[in-house]
Amino acid sequence: MNVKTPSKLEKILKAGHLAVTSECGPPRGSDPEAIKKKAELIKDHVDGINITDNQTSVTRMCSLASCIHLRLMGLEPILQMVTRDRNRIALQSDILGAASFDIHNMLCLSGDHQSFGDCKQGQNVHDIDSMQLIQTVRYMRDEGKFLGGDDIKRPPNMFVGAAANPFADPFEIRVPRLAKKIAAGVEFIQTQCIYNLDKFEEWMRLARERGLTEKVFILAGMTPMKSAGMAKYMKNRVPGMDVPDELVKRLAGVPKEKQAQEGIDICVEAIQRLKEMEGVKGFHIMAIEWEEKVPEIVERTGLYPRPKI
Amino acid sequence: MIVADKKPIEEIVEEVKDCDNILILGCNECVTVCEAGGKKEVGILASALRMYFLNQGKDMKIDERTLERQCDQEYLDEIRDIADQYDAIVSLACGVGVQFTAEQYHSIPIYPGVNTCFLGATEERGLWTERCQACGQCVLARTGGICPVSRCAKRLLNGPCGGSSNGMCEISKELACGWQLIVNRLEALDKMDDYEKIFPIKDWSTDRAGGPRKVVREDVQI
């Protein structure tokens, strides 16, 4: 097993286990208990916990500080970092800050446009993009150098991830785009929430054909629907989301008070199917403000207990 | 061309309301083409201001003039003899023209009459869209002739992001995804292999980031 970093997630994946990650959104305030409580709910059922970075461009407690809280609890944080808000100085600096707390996983993202959030009039930075952020952190780790060429004393030691959205357009570049991220140095992928399983299967088939699933660990992104209303919202309002009509109908077809349970059932069924799909190396369960349901999903899909590494 | 849009008249009124004698100064270049600051718009603004101040019971002298260019000293010299008689000049040129006029006429306040918006083109009458952000290091050769810096809302050099949907950008269903356009062009040119070449981290020092810029061409200097 050729493990490159101290990341527990990397070890689990390279040992051949199906990995399970989940995520917590930081609070809109400075109370550390908010993030710790969420982590407590899921910590025994996952191998790593993503902390989102001002998701949907709404200002929150920073991802790095939240990751540090998790690290101090002895957990395995996955630092999400978007290129929207920081230039290359700040990105490299935050990577070092994370490394100083032995945060060993990072997810490189561009970030939602600021027009979705609470600072619509703000500038965005986009000094580099997510592809180049992957290259940056790999360069810092593997070469032990800053982008400017100077040596780093105690370089960061991150297992490097990125997102992939098989459902965004144009579809024909979605696999080439994955190939590009792999060429940039990405080691694991967490996908956009999967509802259209057929389309995901097609994307995976094309990825397998190019041998990409041998080069990167793909974690399938899962978000249980809380209601038919949420499904409709995701379908119509969230960019890059593919929610089939049948799924909306199925949720709408049960009484309102049972829709949440139906949403969990749908998620569990999807994971069962995806577990058999060649190339799927784990699951990233994004139960948005519904973290308490993660244990049930993990247990019902036979992914519990988590391996001890 | 430089595309500009009219400023609300209230804003202009606020700047000149204490003057007795002003000049509305148009420009015959870009702002004429985008119908924001040419001779026609100078006339319209001057009439509107006259009417406004007449209603307010104020007798304001408002003259009109349109120069060939305001970004050129030679043409700005044409008002050298008359400039002093005005309390203020409202320039309907782009931000470049406003500043160049101000540099030539130190003692007269120069107010902008338009908002300078972007470098763009006329798509149809009354519709102008952005094409360039003057980053100083053109990448169009590698992106099928479509600019990711000006046409992607996140100026991604390795796009598209996950928000591209049915050819449209995540920020608006009426805005084309720049990267969809790039992919369409690369396909048409049979250059999709180029898509997989990672675009390296860009040197933004030739962009705004590098501070106020200049181009020095010794070969054409006199």
Question: Hey, are the CB atoms on B198 and A124 less than 8 Å from each other?
Answer: no
B20-50: b (≥16 Cβ within 10 Å) or e: eebbbbbbbbbbbbbbbbbbebbeebbeebe
B215 domain residue, yes or no: no
Instruction: Work out the angle at residue A231's Cα, subtended by the Cα atoms of residues A226 and A236, and round it to the nearest 5 degrees.
Output: 150
Average pLDDT of span A66-74: 98
Same domain membership, residue B100 and residue B73: yes
**What is the structure's pLDDT at A237?**
86
Question: Which residues does chain A have within 8 Å of residue B159's beta carbon, measured at their own beta carbons?
Answer: 129
Average pLDDT of every residue of chain B: 97
* Nearest CA-CA partner of A301 in A46, A52, A16, A48: A46
**What is the structure's pLDDT at A240?**
83
Label residue A238 by pLDDT band (50, 70, 90): confident
Same domain membership, residue B169 and residue B90: no
Distance CA A33, CA A302 (A): 30
Same domain membership, residue B14 and residue B113: yes
Same domain membership, residue B20 and residue B84: yes
3 state SS of A12: helix
Q: How many CB pairs under 8 A join A and B?
A: 94
SS (H, E, C) A155-207: CCCCEEEEEECCCCCCHHHHHHHHHHHHHHCCCEEEEEECCCHHHHHHHHHHH
Q: Which two tokens stand for residue B218?
A: 């010794």
Average pLDDT of span A98-116: 97
Q: Which residues pair with B121 in a beta bridge?
A: B129
The residue of chain B with its CA nearest to that of A184 is B198
For B32-73, what is each residue's pLDDT tens digit? Answer: 999 999 999 999 999 999 999 999 999 999 999 999 999 999
**What is the structure's pLDDT at B20?**
98
Question: Which residues does chain B have within 8 Å of residue A131's beta carbon, measured at their own beta carbons?
Answer: 157-158, 198-199
In this predicted structure, the answer to whether residue A1 has a pLDDT above a threshold of 80 is no
Place of tokens 């099928």: B144
Distance CA A210, CA A208 (A): 5
Average pLDDT of span A152-173: 97
Share above pLDDT 90 across residues of chain A, in percent, rounded to a whole number: 98
DSSP string, A48-87: EEEE-SSGGG---S-HHHHHHHHHHTT--EEEEEESSS--
Give me the domains of chain A, ranges plus CATH numbers.
8-226+277-300 (3.20.20.220)
Average pLDDT of every residue of chain A: 97
Label residue A298 by pLDDT band (50, 70, 90): very high
Same domain membership, residue B112 and residue B7: yes
Same domain membership, residue B188 and residue B102: no
For the domain that residue B93 is a member of, what is the CATH number?
3.40.50.2300
Question: Hey, are the CB atoms on B196 and A180 less than 8 Å from each other?
Answer: yes
ipTM associated with this complex: 0.95
Q: Which residues pair with B5 in a beta bridge?
A: B115
In this predicted structure, the answer to whether residue A173 has a pLDDT above a threshold of 70 is yes
B125 domain residue, yes or no: no
Distance CA A136, CA A108 (A): 10
Which helix (H) or strand (E) segment holds residue B74: the answer is helix B73-76
DSSP string, A119-143: -TTS----SS-HHHHHHHHHHHHHT
Label residue B139 by pLDDT band (50, 70, 90): very high
Question: Hey, are the CB atoms on A130 and B158 less than 8 Å from each other?
Answer: yes
Question: Hey, are the CB atoms on B195 and A173 less than 8 Å from each other?
Answer: yes
Alpha-carbon torsion angle A251, A256, A257, A260, nearest 10: 30
Q: What amino acid occupies position B205?
A: S
In this predicted structure, the answer to whether residue A194 has a pLDDT above a threshold of 90 is yes
For B64-74, what is each residue's pLDDT tens digit? Answer: 999 999 999 99
Domain extent, residue B100, equals 2-118
For A249-284, what is each residue's pLDDT tens digit? Answer: 999 999 999 999 999 999 999 999 999 999 999 999
Same domain membership, residue B202 and residue B148: yes
Q: Please say which residue of B118, B148, B166 terminates a domain.
A: B118
B123 domain residue, yes or no: no
B49 domain residue, yes or no: yes
If you ran DSSP here, which 8-state letter would residue A286 be given? -
**What is the structure's pLDDT at A309?**
87
B65-89: b (≥16 Cβ within 10 Å) or e: bbbebbbeeebbeebeeebeebebb
For B159-216, what is each residue's pLDDT tens digit? Answer: 999 999 999 999 999 999 999 999 999 999 999 999 999 999 999 999 999 999 999 9
For A136-151, what is each residue's pLDDT tens digit? Answer: 999 999 999 999 999 9
Q: Please say which residue of B118, B151, B177 terminates a domain.
A: B118
Question: Which residues does chain B have within 8 Å of residue A112's beta carbon, measured at their own beta carbons?
Answer: 163, 170
Same domain membership, residue B66 and residue B153: no
Among the partner residues B157, B184, B195, nearest to A176 by beta-carbon distance: B195
B143 domain residue, yes or no: yes
Among the partner residues B158, B162, B192, nearest to A240 by beta-carbon distance: B162
Distance CA B71, CA B4 (A): 15
Same domain membership, residue B106 and residue B20: yes
Same domain membership, residue B91 and residue B48: yes
Same domain membership, residue B108 and residue B13: yes
B129 domain residue, yes or no: no
Q: Please say which residue of B86, B118, B150 terminates a domain.
A: B118
In this predicted structure, the answer to whether residue A293 has a pLDDT above a threshold of 90 is yes
Share above pLDDT 90 across residues of chain B, in percent, rounded to a whole number: 100
**What is the structure's pLDDT at B64?**
98
* Nearest CA-CA partner of B161 in A110, A237, A56, A173: A110
Number of domains composing chain B? 2
B217 domain residue, yes or no: no
B132/A contact by beta carbon, under 8 A: no
CB contacts under 8 A, A 235-294 vs B, are: 239-240
Same domain membership, residue B85 and residue B25: yes
